[in-house]
Structure 1
């Protein structure tokens, strides 16, 4: 059993928490406002909600399920709580258009994962699941074709930990692709720029990137 802090209380957090708990992990949700209306439903489901420092400090693995635009600033403020730990980053850092779709990357020529690793040198950052619609992050078999979960990070043990958690979320090992070090997160993060066009072509259906082989 691993103690996991999911930082963020929106759709991504809700997609991940239940499946991680069902796999036997202890899960705490971290929120900027742990007593606010946005987190009211968690208590009824038996999930502990705490402030961000408390949640991060109590866990072995931290999941960044916050908006990518605020991630570096917020997580840098938690450097002490994150030191030595695995930070599983699923966010996309983008500028959005009036319709709410990604219009540009916040870190062109780089990636959010790289910025987090640079800002948090004592933390082991691993990027994954950012090419997957939140509704299938913990239910990938729901899709009509096997999707891919890309993994990028500098620390082999941290990637092994994250791969194990992906398996707990329903990802078959053959669907998980280790791309290499944290710099390899650049291309998967750029996938966010395709989302508006894919929804225009396919409609508002869950989807993920896949690799045919």
Structure 2
């Protein structure tokens, strides 16, 4: 069992919290109530960033000391939204939200994952008719192993998990968010994941 704080209680954060609880982990969800995030983080081994990516860096930088020594799974994408509310561009071109967080939180081990799929697939990968894939980006091998273990507890098979390397590789997976609005406009909100066919 892992003690987990989920920051963000929208569709993504709520779904992850419920699924991780069902998997036997001890989960606390922090909403926007003042002090809620700091309190949740203090007792957690792992922190999941499911806050809106456009404000994640500033919001989490304010928790630098509370997050020191923690593993953070960053599942958010930082985008500039178009008129329809769907992602239209990247907020950090030439970088990534994961890199921005790692820079702002040098005492925290950041792992980027679960950001290349529609949110229902995060917690139920068998929704898809083809084998899905989930990617890991981060500098710390122990943190990535923890991320891998949590993914397996959510139903991801080991062979579906691909370690891309260091945190800079998150640029690639975060850029994949630009596929999402086009796929949604073509097929609606049908669950999907970006997968490398082999």
Q: How far 1:204 sits from its partner (Å)?
A: 2.2
- Cα distance in 2 between the residues matched to 1:203 and 1:20: 27
Alignment partner of 2:177: what SS?
Answer: helix
Spell out structure 1 runs of 4+ moving beyond 3 A: none
Which position in structure 2 is the counterpart of 1:91? 76
- Cα distance in 1 between the residues matched to 2:186 and 2:81: 19
Unaligned runs of 5+ in 1: 35-49
Which position in structure 2 is the counterpart of 1:23? 23
1:68 to 27, 31, 53: 53
Unaligned runs of 5+ in 2: none
Which position in structure 1 is the counterpart of 2:177? 192
- Cα distance in 1 between the residues matched to 2:185 and 2:90: 20
Alignment partner of 1:137: what SS?
Answer: helix
Q: How far 1:203 sits from its partner (Å)?
A: 2.3
User: Residue by residue, what CA displacement relative to the aligned partner does 1:37-57 show, whole Å, maximum 9, x if unpaired?
Assistant: xxxxxxxxxxxxx70100111
Which position in structure 2 is the counterpart of 1:7? 7
Which position in structure 1 is the counterpart of 2:110? 125
- Cα distance in 1 between the residues matched to 2:5 and 2:144: 17
Which position in structure 2 is the counterpart of 1:142? 127
Contact map agreement 1:56 1:82 (CA 8 A) in 2? yes
- Cα distance in 2 between the residues matched to 1:153 and 1:76: 18
Q: How far 1:127 sits from its partner (Å)?
A: 0.1
User: Residue by residue, what CA displacement relative to the aligned partner does 1:108-133 show, whole Å, maximum 9, x if unpaired?
Assistant: 01100000000000000000000011
Alignment partner of 2:123: what SS?
Answer: coil
Q: TM-score, normalised by structure 1?
A: 0.91
RMSD: 1.1
Q: TM-score, normalised by structure 2?
A: 0.97
